[in-house]
Amino acid sequence: MFGPKVRDEEIVKLESQPYKGGTFSFVVRRDGQLLNHIGTYLEFNRPQRLVFKWGVESEHESVVTVEIASSENGDHVTLTHELPDKWEEYTESTEAAWSFMLDKLYELFNQH
């Protein structure tokens, strides 16, 4: 989701209506396949909280919540991804994917 600096993928098209009720579509080419990450913003409270429905292609049944809290040691991000029961088998791979992306984002912000 962060493009070629984070993953081996090409950003094909990005669309976003960043407000409550707005939608997004992030189309990438990865491993020769086009993937369309889609969703709807359920809550948009800058800069502390973002909640959105999330999915690939036409299914966006899961909900992602991103919370940002500031402290004297810097900002802290908490990401919660609520998967429907039918996707329980993807829990570990989903956690690993988000951890990978957040680690890469941390690296990008801390380059000197």
**CATH homologous superfamily for the domain 3-109:** START domain (3.30.530.20)
* Contact (Cβ atoms closer than 8 angstroms) between residue 56 and residue 38: yes
What are the structural domain ranges in the chain? 3-109
Predicted TM-score of the model (pTM): 0.85
Buried b (16+ CB within 10 A) or exposed e, 2-33: eeeeeeebeeeeeeeeeeeeeebebebeeeee
Alpha-carbon gap, residue 52 to 54, rounded angstroms: 6
The sign of the torsion formed by the CA atoms of 95, 50, 38, 5 equals: negative
Q: What is the pLDDT along the chain (112 residues), one digit of tens a residue?
A: 667 777 788 999 999 999 999 999 999 998 999 999 999 999 999 889 999 999 888 666 799 999 999 989 888 999 999 999 988 898 999 999 899 989 988 888 888 6
